[in-house]
Chains A and B, each alone.
Chain A
């Protein structure tokens, strides 16, 4: 019987080791997948943020140019379309919105605070900053919000957001 007892002990030890290996493997796989998807998610966020900045710069230049009928006045509404066109290829399910009542305000309107903008939404805001320190005629554009996730289950773990604001001077037309 001593041989049988040793065999049972060996089997039990092997089973324990297998169980331990499974638990370790599961933990490592989880950590590996989290790191992998985290890196992919960070890369996508980086691309989206860079494009948001390019889009805002494009839009604010359109706004600064005015319209043919009123060249001396920034075309705030005209900035949204070009901004959205630049953003579109990297939106991946993100909605682009403008602030409520925006069209009725001649000075435009800055974006809502980041926490008030829902998930999967980017807000585009174009407005005229108040003149200060001798400077006048500036036009500003903000792209702010929470883009949709390419890896949805990471949304809670990695709360990426975008918040870029650029400014430029309106174009001075000459007679």
Chain B
């Protein structure tokens, strides 16, 4: 009976950490997916904002994109944007009517501030790209 109890304890001691790591691992995958959705939404809205600026005003378009991206990402504290934040370019250059705007951004998912650091020792770096077209009717 004592041997049975000892064996059960050892089995539990081995199984429990494995189950915990598996459980946290599954949750971590979910958190990464949600963070990707957050980042994609912020970049998508930023590209749309840049395309909604007065045509031909590159600095204004970039400002709109940056404000939109920064303010949206600020609502998702688990995402930390490093470097220059969002970068938007247009093709052809100059953010004129008919141009295609492409915005790219990356952010770090701060696992080190959460319980997930147990199973994910690094902070994954996520990136997202979005494009929008400045309508032809937006003038000169």
Contact = CB atoms under 8 A, between A and B. Distances in A.
Interface of A: 39, 42, 46, 49-50, 53-54, 57, 60-61, 64, 129, 135, 138, 140, 164-172, 174-175
A49 B36 CA distance: 12
A166 B42 contact: yes
Contacts of B49: 64, 168-169
Interface in B20-73: 26-27, 30, 33-34, 37-38, 41-42, 44-45, 48-49, 52-55, 60, 63-64, 67-68, 71-72
A164 B76 CA distance: 8
Interface of B: 26-27, 30, 33-34, 37-38, 41-42, 44-45, 48-49, 52-55, 60, 63-64, 67-68, 71-72, 75, 138-139
Which DSSP category, helix, strand, loop or mixed, fits chain A's interface?
mixed
A168 B45 contact: yes
Contacts of B60: 172
7 contacts: A53-B37, A64-B52, A138-B67, A165-B72, A169-B49, A172-B54, A174-B139
